[in-house]
Amino acid sequence: MANKRRWYKYLQRPLAVVCGRATRTQTSTMSLERCQSEWKEIEQEYEQLQETHKVYRQKLEELTNLQALCNSAIGKQRKGLKELKQSLHKCASSHSDKESEDLNDLQVRIKERQNVFFDMEAYLPKKNGLYLNLVLGNVNVTLLSNQAKFAYKDEYEKFKLYMTIILLFGAVTCLFFLNYRVFDEILNFLLVWYYCTLTIRESILMSNGSRIKGWWVLHHYVSTFLSGVMLTWPEGLMYQMFRSQFLAFSIYQSCVQFLQYYYQSGCLYRLRALGERNQLDLTVEGFQSWMWRGLTFILPFLFFGHFWQLYNAVTLFKLSAHEDCREWQVFMMALTFLVLFLGNFLTTLKVVHHKIQKNKGKVKTN
């Protein structure tokens, strides 16, 4: 009986092996067929991809040709308007009252047409300015879709907000908790990097149609220079005498910038919804005419910050005349703070004066 069982197992074993091999062969065949089927699907998708990419390259070439054609036409139009403007200037000396109205009407139309060209060029690739060429090289930074422009603008605004909060906490920490030069250097380096980055981002935004201009653009370049000088100021008596005042000013400035961002964002949102402002308008550190509605309360805070810059300049001029002063950074920072005060104060004053005069004119008209 035991021998029969052994023979049965012996006979069954090769059968199981043979069946296992057959099963694996069948599975392998099915797997290979499945792989071949998947490869055929991938091959079909690849052929479609090639066709799509071919169409894309053709459209891209057509787009490039259209961009060149538009740039050429705009350049021709600008040249024609410039010549027409010169001719109108020559005709301005002798004309009747009726001709004067026609002349003014033409000048208004020329100005409107130039604004239209500015909006057109926001969607066309253009050469970078000197600053972007120095920093990025000859790289096309034009964003062609509205979605990409708005996304970049929103990212710029968030970057300013987050960095303002970080700089605020950094200045508070250095003033009240960590009185060590190494932490001051980290804060100053962060200021240099922040303002340098702002200048680059703003230049890219201006290439894409943002109308930020004038002193509020130059302001960031001056602030970059000021932060760089502060970074190189060596440890010493003069530095310690000005350190607390500078950190307190940094805290106040960050608080005002945070307050401005919060209220300017809401004001810009309302004006864009009403169609009164460009979609790429930005929040700024200063005061502009569109901020007049609902934001006049912030003017005292701005003027106080401007006069604090003047106070910093006066303090540094006094320190530069100190008998123990040997650092060139003291006098250079005094000049820079004076430039910041004059630029900020005079620009804000000009905007306020212009707005008051404009409101008076409306009242008289009514």
* Predicted structure pTM score: 0.76
> In sequence order, what are the residues at sequence separation of 6 or more whose Cβ sits closer than 8 angstroms to the Cβ of residue 205?
152, 153, 156, 212, 280, 282
Q: Tell me what pLDDT residue 114 has.
A: 82
Same domain, 310 and 189: yes
In angstroms, rounded to a whole number, what is the distance separating the alpha carbons of residues 82 and 110?
Answer: 9
Is the pLDDT score of 301 beyond 60? yes
Structure tokens at 162: 């987050």
Mean pLDDT of the chain: 81
Same domain, 162 and 89: no
Same domain, 311 and 230: yes
Same domain, 94 and 233: no
Q: Tell me what pLDDT residue 97 has.
A: 62
Give me the count of residues in the chain: 366
Same domain, 106 and 218: no
Same domain, 262 and 115: no
Same domain, 88 and 224: no
Same domain, 155 and 273: yes
How confident is the model over 205-258, as pLDDT tens digits? 888 877 777 788 888 999 999 999 999 999 989 999 999 999 999 999 999 888
List C-alpha distances in Å: 233 to 181, 239, 329, 331: 11, 7, 6, 11
How confident is the model over 238-252, as pLDDT tens digits? 999 999 999 999 999
Report yes or no on 135 lying in a domain.
Answer: no
Same domain, 154 and 94: no
Same domain, 108 and 160: no
Report yes or no on 7 lying in a domain.
Answer: no
Same domain, 167 and 65: no
Report yes or no on 256 lying in a domain.
Answer: yes
Report yes or no on 130 lying in a domain.
Answer: no
Give the residue numbers spanning the domain of 260.
145-365
Q: Residue 188: which of 258, 240, 246 has the closest Cα?
A: 246
Same domain, 295 and 202: yes
Q: Give how many domains the chain has, as a whole number.
A: 2
Report yes or no on 265 lying in a domain.
Answer: yes
